[in-house]
Amino acid sequence: MKRIKLSMLFFLGLMNFLAVKAQDVDEIINKHIAALGGKEKISNIKTIYIESTMEIMGNEAPTTTYIVNGKGYRSETNFNGQKIIQCFTDKGGWSINPGQTTAEPVSADQVKNAQGQLQVGGPLFDYAAKGNKVELQGKEDVNGASAYKIKVTSKDTMVTTFYIDVTSYYILKVVSKLLANGQETETIITFSDYRKTDFGNVMPFEQQVVLPQLTLNIINKKIEMNKEIDPKIFEMPK
């Protein structure tokens, strides 16, 4: 009987611990959403239009990005006179890379990896409704700043780790485990220079993307919310 009581006490203690952990991570995510402008403000973003400069191997390349929330993502980069286009929708994707003259469908892995880019609020915004699971994994140092470490597992079992500044509640770094040709790779993105847009939400204006064999430095020059975007730009050219 004593062992049963001890087991019950342990079980109840464990449940309480897990409930507190869940409450803690939700509190952090809610403060993060508030820091970006609040749930209502982000919910009213239907499209995002971005003009930026991307540094690739010492060369600057102007880039334009179009996002229609939940529907489409398209990035156009002019690199040394050649246009690079990456386009994804909720149904598939296609690309035009240097040396190509026609668009080609992208792999199923690439489509899966890119689905998060269709969501203007990101995986943490309304995470439960998207089928994502979150887990607080303590704190870590990110370039001298203390950050909450939150692991997000999507309904497709993709894992992304967010590092959220304990003071500003902005995202400092994101580490993603992605699939490429059936093999797992890691992508690291760091964010900085957060500013309020004319729409009233807050976004990072600088980011560094570390890929397995390439590092990209991106500076946003112009960001517009709810700009009219023709849905036809997401259609694959024939």
Give the start-to-end residue ranges of the domains of the chain: 2-234
Please report which confidence band the pLDDT of residue 4 belongs to, taking 50, 70 and 90 as the band edges.
very low
Quote the pTM value. Answer: 0.86
Q: Residue 14: which pLDDT band, with cuts at 50, 70 and 90? A: very low
pLDDT of residue 110: 86
**Predicted pLDDT of residue 181:** 67
Which residues are bridge partners to 219 per DSSP? 53, 206
Answer yes or no: is pLDDT of 96 > 60: yes
CATH 3.40.50.1980 is the classification of domain 2-234: no
Work out the average pLDDT over 2-9.
Answer: 46
Here the tokens at position 51 are: 């003009």
| DSSP conformation letters of the chain | -HHHHHHHHHHHHHHHHHHHHHHHHHHHHHHHHHHTT-HHHHHT--EEEEEEEEEETTEEEEEEEEEETTTEEEEEEEETTEEEEEEEESS-EEEE-TT-SS-EEPPHHHHHHHGGGG-TT-TTTTTTTTT-EEEEEEEEEETTEEEEEEEEE-TT--EEEEEEETTT--EEEEEEEEEETTEEEEEEEEEEEEEE-TTS-EEEEEEEEE-SS-EEEEEEEEEEES----GGGGSPP-
Confidence of residue 144 (pLDDT cuts 50, 70, 90): very high
What would the mean pLDDT of 91-102 be, rounded to a whole number?
Answer: 90
Q: Give the pLDDT confidence of 169-222 residue by residue, as tens digits.
A: 999 999 998 766 667 789 999 999 999 999 999 999 999 999 888 899 999 999
Residue with tokens 């892995």: 109
144 close to 137: Cβ distance less than 8 angstroms: no
pLDDT band at 12 (very low <50, low <70, confident <90, very high): very low
Average pLDDT over residues 3-13: 46
Residue 98 has pLDDT above 90, yes or no: no
Residue 32 backbone dihedrals phi, psi, to 5 degrees? -65, -45
pLDDT tier, 232 (very low <50, low <70, confident <90, very high otherwise): very high
For a pLDDT cut of 70, what percent of the chain falls above it? 89
84: which residues sit within 8 A by CB, 6+ positions away?
Answer: 61, 75, 76, 77, 78, 95, 96, 97, 98
Whether the predicted pLDDT of 11 surpasses 50 = no
Q: Which of 25-29, 104-108, 181-185 has the highest mean pLDDT?
A: 25-29
- Burial class of residue 148 in the structure, from the number of CB atoms within 10 Å of its CB (0-12 exposed, 13-18 middle, 19+ buried): buried
